[in-house]
Structures are given as structure tokens and as C-alpha cells.
Amino acid sequence: MSSDDLLVYINGEFVPESEAKVSVFDHGFLYGDGVFEGIRAYNGRVFKLKEHIDRLYDCAKVIDLQIPVTKEEFMDIILETLRRNNLRDAYIRPIVTRGVGDLGLDPRKCSRPMIIVITKPWGKLYGDLYEKGLKAVTVTVRRNAIDSLPPNIKSLNYLNNILAKIEANAKGGDEAIFLDHNGYISEGSGDNVFIVKNGAVYTPPTLNNLKGITRAVAIEIIQKLGIPFKETNLGLFDLYSADEIFVTGTAAEIAPITVIDGRTVGDGKPGEITKRLMDEFRKLTETEGVPIYE
């Protein structure tokens, strides 16, 4: 099987990518009505599978979407998709849409949710920038307000994030950093944000951003290493005066930011604490996780 015609799971069937299609009347397509996850498999193991599935079901619950299989069944579907595609290192994209409805918004008219699992071989999101560092820019578009579309929901509606990405691209940034409507640092377009100042690590609480699973792993590592850590609201002052900045995400992993809005962070190279966390994170991904082939 070539890597560009892998099998995709769609509602009980495994179909080649080229034939993996959803209806134009699916509300996931029409309205972004659905939820998704981004998961990684490293070295034959799925990293933090249960945590991702728990978040998927929590997000589904928040949008009143009933996933028609159990969490255990969903995990089995993911493992089976990886096995059928012979993958050991992969990016995994589970999607649950509201399903096929009419052109109205009413989710009650949708027949049944659609479950999709896409798996792809995957390398490094930011290539050589893990050594060089990323240029990040804060963007004028604000993160979705917590009382409109809570950023905790990993929904199929990623337009807010895409607007941020468009702005970052236009400003020559590798990643966008959102502020919320109060001017507090929220998150990146696809990752959570941390800063290091005077040997301590800080990150915003998860009210105005996604409860990142890599964020939680990074915090565990920080605490295990005995590095002082605090969850606290951060502003532009904290970002611009930080000694180190890094972002965390399933796709991004732990990635150093060395330029923020044109200002050099620290000495312009990935910082010592960031590098230690990157090393420890790599070790965890190589040894932990749910085995695919046992």
C-alpha cells in the first residue's frame, strides 16, 4: 500500500483515502458542527490515547453530540486503523461530525454522527526550527470568547485559528499567538504557550485556551525536574520580557520561540530550560503509550 492511499475509517468501514468521502449535507462540512482530535503514535505506541479520547468525548458532550460508540470501541478503531495501515509513527485524526442533515442548522435533523479516523505518516511539524527557534507574532484577531465559542472545545470550527494563521503568515511569523478579549495571552493557533522568567516557568490557566494534552505533559516534566512553575495570567509585557518562550502541542511537540513580534527572546537561541523539556518530552514519547501491535 502506498502512503498516499492508506485506509481511512468511516462509520464502520475501512476505505482507501481516494474513496473516503462525506456527504455535502454533513453538518461537519456545512457548519463545522463536530469535534476532532489530533493524536500521535511514536515507535509503535499511541501517546496519551486515553487523554485524547477523554477530551474528544468531553468536547462532544459540550456540543450535545452523542458519540455512538464507547470510548473503548473508539480506541480500538484507532488502533485497528493504524494496524491496517502498518503504521508505527503517525499522526492520527479522529473526527466526529453531527452527520447528514438538511440545510437548516437544527442538529436534531441530523441522522447520526459520522465517525472518521485518518492516519498518516508524520515527521516534524517545524523541521529545523526546533534547533533554530520559531518566529512568533501576536495577532490582532482575538481568540474566541469563552462565552461565545469556548476555546476549550476542539470543534471542527477552526476559522478563528485560521484567521490567526493568515495574519501570522502575512507578518512572516511561523506561529500566531492569540490574546483574549481582556488582553491576556491565550494560546497559539495550534498550541499552548509557556514562558520562562528567572528560572521559573509560567503558562496561562486553561479558561481561554485549549486544555492541551502536551501542555499537561510539559507541566508534569517541569514539576518532576523541580523547576518552579506557576499557572497565571500573562500579558504582552511578560511575553516580551521573557527569557525563554516555547509552545506545546501534539503536532508542534515542544517548540522554542526565539523571536516574538520582532524582539529577540533571550540570546536568540532556544533556551536551556526549553531544551531540557524538549529532551525529556522526546524520551517520554519513545517509551510511553498504548502499544499498537501487541
Binding site for ligand PMP (CB under 6 A): 38, 161, 187, 190-192, 209-210, 212-215, 248-250
Question: Closest CB to ligand PMP among 37 and 110?
Answer: 37
Burial track 241-269 (b if 16+ CB lie within 10 A, e otherwise): ebbbbbbbbbebbbbbbbbbeeeebbeeb
Answer whether 91's CB lies under 8 Å from 38's CB.
Answer: yes
Catalytic residue among 154, 165, 211, 275: 154
48 catalytic, yes or no?
no
Contact 273, 201 (CB under 8 A): yes
Cβ closest to ligand PMP, residue 26 vs residue 175: 175
CB of 166 to ligand PMP, least distance (A): 15
Q: At closest approach, how far in Å is the CB of 179 from ligand PMP?
A: 14
| Nearest CB to ligand PMP, comparing residues 85 and 186 | 186
In the complex, minimum distance from the CB of residue 126 to ligand PMP, in angstroms, rounded to a whole number: 14
Q: How far is the CB of 164 from ligand PMP (least distance, A)?
A: 9
Q: How far is the CB of 136 from ligand PMP (least distance, A)?
A: 14
| 97/248 with CB nearer ligand PMP | 248
Identify which of residues 7 and 118 has a Cβ nearer to ligand PMP in the complex.
Answer: 118
Positions marked catalytic: 154
